[in-house]
Structure 1
Amino acid sequence: MTINTTYLTAPTADLTDLQDRFQPVFDKVAEGNVERERRRVLPHEQVRLLNDADFGKLRIPVERGGLGASLEQTFLLLADLGAADSNVAHIWRNHLAFVEDRLNAPVSDTNDAWIARFLDGEFVGGGWTEANNVTLANMTTTVTARDDHWVVTGSKYYATGSLYADWLDVIGRDSDGELVAALVRRTDPGVTLVDDWQGFGQRTTASGSARYDGVRAERGNVFPAAERFTYQPHFYQIAMLSVLTGITRAALRDGSAALADRKRNYPQGLAEKPTDDAQLLQVIGEVSADVFAAGAALGLSARSLDGIVAGRISGDDARARQRLIDAEVAVTQAQLVIIGSALRTTTNIFDALGASGVSEGFALDRHWRNARTLASHNPRVYKARILGDWLINAKDPVPDLAARGRGGQGD
């Protein structure tokens, strides 16, 4: 048994209190969502609004100046934000993950400084994935020791949130070939960020290119990648599933409002008014069931990560591996449930609306485009097979992507 020497503590927040605190902020974020999506207006103001409201402090313990939220509470709130604006919710993924990493790190002056930065509202963007089929196994970005600092050189893609960030979390190889993560300031000389994301969805997440040309990183801001928190892949995946869950809610909300406004029904309809048509109401009811399933899967899978944290806090090392496997299974099952729900919801809602539902004024297509884009980041096509192999053959489902030479952090 190991004594907890990290910043992790048992959560103390109440979900209702957190929702009461943040829903008015989410409502403000939702304002202008359609116009930002239509014109590709980057939501700098909305990200700052959330930061000023302490959204970035959710997981930091109360005694250290944070809000003391559990992981389940954090991801449920991220889904609420996703319902307001899925682009803004996705932007927060990398920041929340790096906060979680530092909470898992040993207490030290260096990590105290990072906690203080989070409390001051400093924001972190991502820089792990490289384009052109580069994986962790053949990554070309370098992080080289030089005198009293490090130098970062390389290019990244899928740099989600970087244009909104104060810091960029960049992975590369040191002179010994070991993977390290370096934190550099977005405004440092040699950093170039380009909003060249070409996806048809998530168009304002700034998930484009980042280039680093001899960028300085201080000694205290470079960490061995092998020491990142063990449930990091699960955290990244659930964050994405939170956004997808939010999209299902948004599709139900906006589709229901569009049906309620319909005045004319088709000749084949069962009632003169669309709102009295049993078949159209059935569509809404079925969509609502998918929304319910997504929310339930999100909560249960996120709770499995809280189990990992509880074991870490208590020093129960004996079951650490089993808790990680349990989380892998739960998150993978949730991925299948939530992606399926999101794609059905954002498609089937149109069956209740007719031709008027495709009006650009409603912009309901954004929900499908955003859901389809997010669902493509970590392909679900392999997931059911992995689950079956675990359930039938007891093959460990926890991937070692770096060792297999196939993986990265995910898009």
Structure 2
Amino acid sequence: MTSTFLAPPTADSARLHEAFAPVFERIAKDSADRENGRTLVHEQVRWLVDAGFGTLRIPVDRGGLGASLQQTFELLTDLGAADPNVAHVFRNHLAFVEDRLAAAVTPANEAWIARFLAGEFVGGGWTEANNGTLDNLKTVITPDGDHWQVTGAKFYATGSLYADWLDVLGKGPDDGPLTALVRVDQPGVQVVDDWVGFGQRVTGSGSATYDHARIETDNVIPYADRAPYLGHFYQEAMLAALAGIAAAAHRDGIEALKARKRTYRHAVTGSITDDPQLLQVIGRVGALAYGARSALSASAATLDAIVSSRLTNDADAVQRQLVASNVAISQAQIVIIEHTLEAATIVFDALGASGVSEKLRLDRHWRNARTLASHNPRVYKERLLGDWFVNGRNPLQALTGASSHDASQA
């Protein structure tokens, strides 16, 4: 296997959490106000970039933090608890960093590592507008003299409002899929904040259009050359944001319960914080959040196993682990979605009418979770898992085209 930038992780989890906890706390502080005003998160993204969050996976000897994938997704869960919008914004950037780490060591990829370390940020652009799929791409990437160009339209362009570069999927000259990294600040690129979903409203997940936008030759990458576990990474990153929402529902539920001033006459005690039924609700929300985070952490570890086998050039093990990781992440998806949606719903049972105050904006947890959970319909994952368990059919072979969001960057 060609030499890559991948290396065994060296970071200490406690030190990573200690380093980023203050930044996460700053981000969490005004998250409800940002939801109320649909305030974009340019400042919060820059805090994280400046703190090195975008370089978590880059080895220390290359100037990064040397984190494992499991450590990365656990931190992304903590960020999701602070603000799942910001966590989702980082999904495409972290995925492209991983992709370049897994790619061959070349001058072009050396340049990408330098860009990451310099704080340049990457947004998404794979999902076609107008119902296009991987088998029916309408975006075209073509050579033009000493460079290339791209023309087309994308939606679910997550992170695009905050990006220096957009990772774009299109059809090449031979009709095969290509990807290209496109500078945002150039003629022919337009990014529009027209996302109308009721959740994840400041992620920059709206439209991006390209009209003969320039691409340097080194930044055109065949789709087939992207890291084989990239789809797994995208899904795990979304699950990290979801698990973070469950933790946020627990945190905010505790604070709101402590702030309650009155109870109902049906209550079995006059003290809100001693009411066993309300404590039971908060206890269950905490258990649901714990289950979501545990599923996230366990499934993330399967990605580290893939990377470990790539480091030892064990191609057969990589193929087996790709399937095992897909199964693990699919199971985690079902658990995390159910746990998070339940946590974000039942937390109100402990809070009474005061819990629906727009000032608290606790509804954001359910709205954001429901939005994230809608990207990859779990009913399909449940069927694929059942087919794997009963019939041994490889779930990866059932994924066809970009109509599956496992292959998208929504």
TM-score by length of 1: 0.98
Deviation at 1:370, TM superposition (A): 0.4
1:115 to 113, 116, 129: 113
Aligned partner of 1:148 in structure 2 is 146
1:65 maps to 63
Q: Note if contact 2:340-2:369 (Cα within 8 Å) is conserved in structure 1.
A: yes
Measured in 1, the distance between the counterparts of 2:57 and 2:119 equals: 13
Shift in alpha-carbon separation, 1:386–1:151, aligned structure 2, 3 A: same
> Per the alignment, in what secondary structure is the counterpart of residue 316 of structure 2?
coil
Aligned mates of 1:406, 1:311 — CA distance in 2: 27
1:366 aligned partner:
364
Give the counterpart of 1:297 among 288, 295, 307. Answer: 295
Q: Counterparts of 1:293-332 in structure 2 under 5 Å?
A: 293-332=291-330
% identical aligned pairs: 59
Contact 1:377-1:410 at 8 Å conserved across structures:
no
5 Å matches for 1:117-136? 117-136=115-134
Matching residue of 1:202 = 200
393-402 or 352-361, which deviates more: 393-402
Which residue, out of 215, 233, 236, partners 1:235? 233
Q: Which moved more, 1:113-122 or 1:264-273?
A: 264-273
Over the aligned positions, Cα root-mean-square deviation in angstroms equals 1.2
Once residues 151 and 20 of structure 2 are traced to their aligned partners in structure 1, the CA distance between those partners, rounded to angstroms, is: 39
Structure 2 Cα separation of the partners of residues 47 and 405 of structure 1: 29
User: Which aligned pairs between 1:4-15 and structure 2 lie closer than 5 A?
Assistant: 5-15=3-13
- 1-structure distance, mates of 2:404, 2:161: 28
C-alpha distance in 2, partners of 1:59/1:268?
53
Which residue does 1:356 correspond to in 2?
Answer: 354
Question: 1:85-234 counterparts in 2 under 5 A?
Answer: 85-234=83-232
Aligned equivalents of 1:325, 1:102: Cα separation in 2: 22
1:31 is displaced (CA, Å) by 2.5
* TM-fit CA distance, 1:347: 0.2
User: Which amino acid in 1 is paired with 2:56?
Assistant: L
Which whole-Å CA distance do the structure 1 matches of 2:49 and 2:253 have between them? 30
Distance in 1 separating the partners of 2:129 and 2:75: 31
Q: In the aligned structure 2, how far is the partner of 1:190 from the partner of 1:403? A: 27
The match for 2:284 is 286
Deviation at 1:405, TM superposition (A): 6.9
The total of aligned residue pairs comes to 409
3-state SS of the aligned residue for 1:134?
coil
Structure 2 Cα separation of the partners of residues 173 and 49 of structure 1: 36
1:330 maps to a residue whose letter is: A
Query: Quick one: which amino acid aligns to residue 237 of structure 1?
Result: Q
Contact 1:378 1:410 in 2 (8 A): no
Aligned-partner SS, 1:145: strand
TM-score, structure 2 length as denominator? Answer: 0.98
Separation in 1 of the partners of 2:403 and 2:233? Answer: 21
Q: Kindly indicate whether residue 404 of structure 2 is the aligned counterpart of residue 409 of structure 1.
A: no
Q: Distance in 1 between matches of 2:161 and 2:404?
A: 28
Shift of 1:400: 5.5
Opposite residue 72 of structure 1, the aligned amino acid is Q
**SS of corresponding position for 2:7:** coil
Q: Which ranges of structure 1 fall in alignment gaps of 5 or more residues?
A: none
Tell me if structure 2 keeps the 8 A contact 1:339–1:375.
Answer: yes
The one-letter amino acid of 2:100's match is R
